[in-house]
């Protein structure tokens, strides 16, 4: 299936990261104009260079997604630059400190929840009025297998990703009548820096990338890591008109991890 997003204007937060960058490239290949948002100026500049090589219009905006005024600003700049916001990939997230619930410092909890949950809410808070006013738009948030499963030693991340699922379902029910769709993609174990760091912590003494491969083999019936591009393909579909009758969905892209409690046979 060829997805055509020419003349569509899309915001991507966390555009400097693995899934954010892969999705930005997939959207560019489909013809979308892009607003690339990230806190890391160096990484998002690299994404900008890659998408501009495809030949689309794109800009970058530095923003902390936990700050109300900075989120409001990236939305206003997007409208001023391109006129409409046809798609919004509400993606920025961090893993935070890995460790048991009984040892997690409140400051570490607050940081993860601020980025992964409050940041998602704030993006919706300022993008949805634009889409409602224009009578169209598609929002995709990044959930996780942690939106469904309990993952030991990731309490803040897990709680926030459960919350993302609630935000998506609630917003979808509210704005469907306005012609706006809201869905989420729920990645499993994906070959990114974030998973490497988590796996390296959980399997100490082993190369991080190798630890991630072993973790995926044990969790996924497919027995392998997913690639960022495999998430990006689904995000692009959900942002496009090809998914016109989908809203309120949390779409698992996880190699089957959440379809079974165990793959031991």
Q: Which residues carry out catalysis? A: 157
CA dihedral sign of residues 249, 250, 255, 261? negative
Residue 175 CA to its chain's centroid (Å): 20
Residue from 143, 123, 122, 139 nearest 175 by CA: 139
The residue among 238, 228, 190 whose CA lies nearest residue 88 is 238
CB 188 within 8 A of CB 251: no
Three-class DSSP labels, 31-66: CCEEEEEECCHHHHHHHHHHHHHHCCCEEEEECCCC
Residues 6+ apart with CB under 8 A from 111: 94, 96, 156
* Maximum Cα–Cα distance across the chain: 56
Do 183 and 243 meet the contact criterion of CB atoms below 8 Å apart?
Answer: yes
Distance between the two ends of the chain, CA-based, in angstroms?
35
Q: Which two tokens stand for residue 81?
A: 């630059």
């Amino acid at each position: 299936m060829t997805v055509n997003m020419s003349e569509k204007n899309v915001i991507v937060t966390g555009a400097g990261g693995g899934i954010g960058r892969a999705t930005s490239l997939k959207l560019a290949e489909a013809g979308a104009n892009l607003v690339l948002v990230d806190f890391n100026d160096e990484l998002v500049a690299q994404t900008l260079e890659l998408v501009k090589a495809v030949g689309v219009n794109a800009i970058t905006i530095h923003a902390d997604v936990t700050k109300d005024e900075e989120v409001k600003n990236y939305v206003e700049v997007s409208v001023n630059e391109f006129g409409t916001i046809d798609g919004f990939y509400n993606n920025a997230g961090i893993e935070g400190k890995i460790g048991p619930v009984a040892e997690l410092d409140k400051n570490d909890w607050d940081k993860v929840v601020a980025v992964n949950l409050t940041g998602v809410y704030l993006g919706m808070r300022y993008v949805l009025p634009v889409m409602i006013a224009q009578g169209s738009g598609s929002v995709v948030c990044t959930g996780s297998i942690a939106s469904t499963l309990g993952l030991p030693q990731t309490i803040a991340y897990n709680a926030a990703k459960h919350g993302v699922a609630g935000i998506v379902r609630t917003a979808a029910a509210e704005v469907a009548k306005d012609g706006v769709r809201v869905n989420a993609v729920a990645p499993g174990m994906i070959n990114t820096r974030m998973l490497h760091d988590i796996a390296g912590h959980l399997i100490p003494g082993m190369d991080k990338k190798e630890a991630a491969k072993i973790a995926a083999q044990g969790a996924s019936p497919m027995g392998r890591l997913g690639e960022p591009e495999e998430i990006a393909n689904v995000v692009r579909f959900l942002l496009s008109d090809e998914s016109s009758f989908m809203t309120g969905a949390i779409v698992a892209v996880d190699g089957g991890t959440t379809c079974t409690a165990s793959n031991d046979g």
